[in-house]
Copies of this chain bind each other. A is one copy, B any other.
Amino acid sequence: MMRIGMLTSGGDCQALNAAMRGVVKCLYNSGVGGELEIFGFNAGYKGLINSDFRMLTGDDFSGILTKGGTILGSSRVPFKTIDEPDEKGNNKVESMKHTYHKLSLDCLVILGGNGTHKTANRLREEGLNVITLPKTIDNDLWGTDMTFGFQSAVDVATHVIDCIHTTADSHGRVFIVEVMGHKAGWLTLNAGMASGADIILIPEIPYHMDCVINAIKRREARGSKFTILAVAEGAISAEDAKLSKKEYAKKLEKLPFPSVSYEVADAIAKKTGLEVRVTVPGHMQRGGSPCPYDRVFASRLGAEAGRLILKGEYGVMVGYKDREIVRVPLKDVAGKLKTVAPDATIIKEAKMLGISFGDE
């Protein structure tokens, strides 16, 4: 008898279902079939903490390859508050270990991003068998070239900017599309390049408002009536980048705008006299059916996770390096962020294409 626990944690994204289907299909096809019990924990670690789960069979994973979201639900618990007691006053880590042992699980399959991996590594340190899968639209997980959800989110954000393009052109306006990503600019960078954005602002490359204005004016001088900016949620000015984290948080709180994009819009409007509009696709970027790339990718990762379970190899994230599926020790992944290097080749290429990052 093999007893597998499974949970999806953190902000949801596309292809979570595809990945879980991959794990389960692999196990069933391996012949372990009838001997397999799958415990699906509800709403991420919350379900593990509270022993809140459903028993799942192969049928539950049939037809979900193309379905967005997660059939298990998700939440952002516990992550930052892992060492604070839960509502009932219990230690969360102990509660999770308790559930694991009570159900005699052979291993936990955990799908999530950065926060999730910290907790997963903690559980590994506590002696649980853990295998993780790299899920995030931000593509900022250390140890893997790619995370699933990323390409799907790029597709959504690109489609948004494509739509904005025709209306920007018709009206000769400046348009800002706020793309998800507080710490990493991968999503904004790729969606911006894919949609022909003229200016891309990402957290890794603090911008100078003067450079942004100049880029807009250069376009005007060349006869372009409109300019499109792809701005990451976490875009930051060079000035603000000098503040301490605390000072910056305080400044953000006092902003008379819902987000940095609106501050950028306001500055552009004031300095150029142009009409500026902001679009915020928001959670749309996490939703909808996964793109074909992500479906194949997540299925492959899931299958390899299944193979590791069969071999009893735990304590790893299943990642992707140089086009091959690889195992990365959890202890190496947890707590590290993969961000865009300001001098990365892709940034140089984007600049060769005439894209401004507001830094020169």
Question: Does A86 have its Cβ within 8 Å of any Cβ on chain B?
Answer: no
Contacts of A230-283 to chain B: CB distance below 8 A? 258, 262, 277-283
Question: Does A193 have its Cβ within 8 Å of any Cβ on chain B?
Answer: yes
Q: How would you classify the secondary structure of chain A's contact residues: helix, strand, loop or mixed?
A: helix
- Within 8 Å by CB of A284, from B164, B194, B286, lies B164
Could you mark each residue 165-202 of chain A with 1 if its beta carbon is under 8 Å from any beta carbon of chain B, else 0? 11111111001000000000000001101111000000
Q: Which residue of B lies closest to A75 (CB)?
A: B171
Contacts of A70 in B (CB 8 A): 170
Q: Which candidate, A94-102, A122-130, A289-297, A330-338, is the interface stretch facing chain B?
A: A289-297
Q: Is B346 a contact of A28 with CB atoms below 8 Å?
A: no
Could you mark each residue 97-115 of chain A with 1 if its beta carbon is under 8 Å from any beta carbon of chain B, else 0? 0000000000000000000
Cα(A156)–Cα(B28), bound, Å: 30
Number of A positions contacting B (CB below 8 A)? 86
- Within 8 Å by CB of A166, from B68, B169, B295, B299, lies B68
Question: Does A145 have its Cβ within 8 Å of any Cβ on chain B?
Answer: yes
Question: Does A324 have its Cβ within 8 Å of any Cβ on chain B?
Answer: yes
> Closest Cβ of chain B: how far from A313's Cβ, in Å?
15
* Residue of A169, A258, A287, A350 with most partner-chain B CB within 10 A: A287
Q: Is B163 a contact of A284 with CB atoms below 8 Å?
A: yes
Q: Is A26 a contact of B352 with CB atoms below 8 Å?
A: yes
Q: Which candidate, A47-55, A205-213, A302-310, is the interface stretch facing chain B?
A: A302-310
> Closest Cβ of chain B: how far from A90's Cβ, in Å?
22
Contacts of A286 in B (CB 8 A): 163, 166-167
Q: Is A352 a contact of B166 with CB atoms below 8 Å?
A: no
Question: Does A345 have its Cβ within 8 Å of any Cβ on chain B?
Answer: yes
* Residue of A22, A279, A349, A350 with most partner-chain B CB within 10 A: A349
Q: Which residue of B lies closest to A192 (CB)?
A: B296
Q: Is B322 a contact of A349 with CB atoms below 8 Å?
A: no
* Residue of A166, A191, A281, A307 with most partner-chain B CB within 10 A: A166
Q: Is A287 a contact of B166 with CB atoms below 8 Å?
A: yes
Q: Which residue of B lies closest to A346 (CB)?
A: B300
Selected A-B contacts with CB under 8 Å, 28 pairs = A12-B167, A12-B170, A25-B352, A29-B351, A66-B162, A67-B166, A69-B167, A69-B169, A70-B170, A74-B170, A145-B323, A151-B293, A154-B293, A155-B292, A162-B288, A163-B286, A163-B288, A193-B300, A279-B280, A280-B282, A281-B281, A281-B284, A291-B291, A293-B293, A299-B349, A303-B349, A306-B352, A307-B352
